[in-house]
């Protein structure tokens, strides 16, 4: 009696090239290991994110920065307070070492600058406790403390961002900090690594 081939047999035979079938068989044989590797990979990424975020707290020095007042119409939003510093805005003289092409010398130059890495040298204040911003450059300083950030035009007074522009508080507890901020009585404490990565520790 001749063999009767079903549509399934035909489909199975011509489903794809031989290497595809071998790959599918290999995946079936190793599916438990592949699943474990996938879970491990996701956990490794999560752990790396935590370590990167915690790096300034582990390796960084604690320094103080004065916080500048901001427009009272843009004060406490949600559950965080906007923090602005003397180095938060693009300096009038521009960024050292960065020449904007002539064709961008218009309103579109912000698009050209967007997300460019910048470095701000930190200079001790006369009180010996706080630091203020010095030269803003695209070149990493060779000496002294500095912040590594990026240019990102915004409406909250922070054109140069360093990851220390928002302090999160419990809901309803930001008004007191707003008043201190807007009367120049608020200080930010940050942890700063030797390579310029910063994290906000707190305000006082």
Q: What is the pLDDT of residues 174-197, one digit of tens each?
A: 777 777 788 788 899 999 999 999
**What count of residues does the chain have?**
204
Look-up of token digits 């002294």: 144
Q: Could you tell me if 153 and 121 are in contact, meaning their C-beta atoms sit under 8 angstroms apart?
A: no
Least confident residue range of 10-14, 55-59, 130-134? 10-14
- Alpha-carbon distance of 98 to 17, in angstroms, equals 54
Q: What is the pTM of this model?
A: 0.69
- Alpha-carbon distance of 78 to 91, in angstroms, equals 29
Considering all CA atoms of the chain, what is the largest pairwise distance in Å, rounded to the nearest integer? 102
pLDDT digits (tens, 9 = 90+) for 73-122: 444 455 778 888 999 988 887 788 877 766 655 556 667 778 889 999 99
CA-based R_g, the chain, Å:
27
- Alpha-carbon distance of 2 to 162, in angstroms, equals 77
- Alpha-carbon distance of 91 to 68, in angstroms, equals 15
Exposed e or buried b per residue across 78-87, where buried means at least 16 C-beta atoms within 10 angstroms of its C-beta = eeebbbbbeb
Compute CA distances 157 → 7, 29, 67, 82, 104, whole Å.
68, 57, 12, 9, 22
- Which tokens is 4 given? 């009767």
- Alpha-carbon distance of 141 to 118, in angstroms, equals 10
Q: Given phi > 0 = left and psi -120 to 50 = alpha, else beta, which region is 201?
A: alpha
Least confident residue range of 2-6, 18-22, 107-111, 154-158? 2-6
- For residues 58 and 125, the model is more confident at 125
pLDDT digits (tens, 9 = 90+) for 26-81: 777 777 777 777 777 777 777 667 666 667 777 778 888 888 876 544 444 557 78
- The pLDDT of residue 75 is 47
Q: Could you tell me if 36 and 42 are in contact, meaning their C-beta atoms sit under 8 angstroms apart?
A: no
């Amino acid at each position: 009696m001749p063999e009767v081939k079903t549509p399934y047999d035909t489909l199975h035979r011509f489903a794809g090239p031989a290497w595809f079938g071998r790959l599918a068989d290999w995946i079936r044989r190793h599916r438990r290991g592949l699943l474990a590797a996938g879970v491990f990979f996701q956990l490794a990424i999560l752990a790396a994110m935590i370590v990167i975020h915690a790096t300034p707290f582990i390796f960084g020095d604690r320094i103080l920065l004065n916080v500048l007042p901001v427009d009272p119409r843009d004060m406490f939003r949600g559950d965080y307070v906007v923090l602005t510093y003397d180095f938060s805005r693009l300096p009038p003289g521009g960024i050292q070492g960065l020449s904007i092409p002539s064709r961008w010398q218009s309103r579109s130059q912000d698009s050209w600058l967007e997300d460019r890495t910048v470095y701000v040298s930190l200079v001790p204040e006369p009180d010996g406790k706080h630091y203020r911003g010095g030269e803003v450059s695209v070149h990493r300083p060779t000496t002294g403390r500095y912040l590594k950030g990026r240019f990102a035009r915004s409406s909250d007074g922070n054109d140069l961002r360093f990851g220390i522009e928002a302090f999160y508080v419990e809901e309803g507890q930001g008004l007191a900090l707003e008043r201190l901020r807007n009367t120049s009585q608020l200080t930010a404490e940050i942890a700063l690594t030797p390579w310029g990565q910063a994290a906000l520790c707190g305000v006082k």
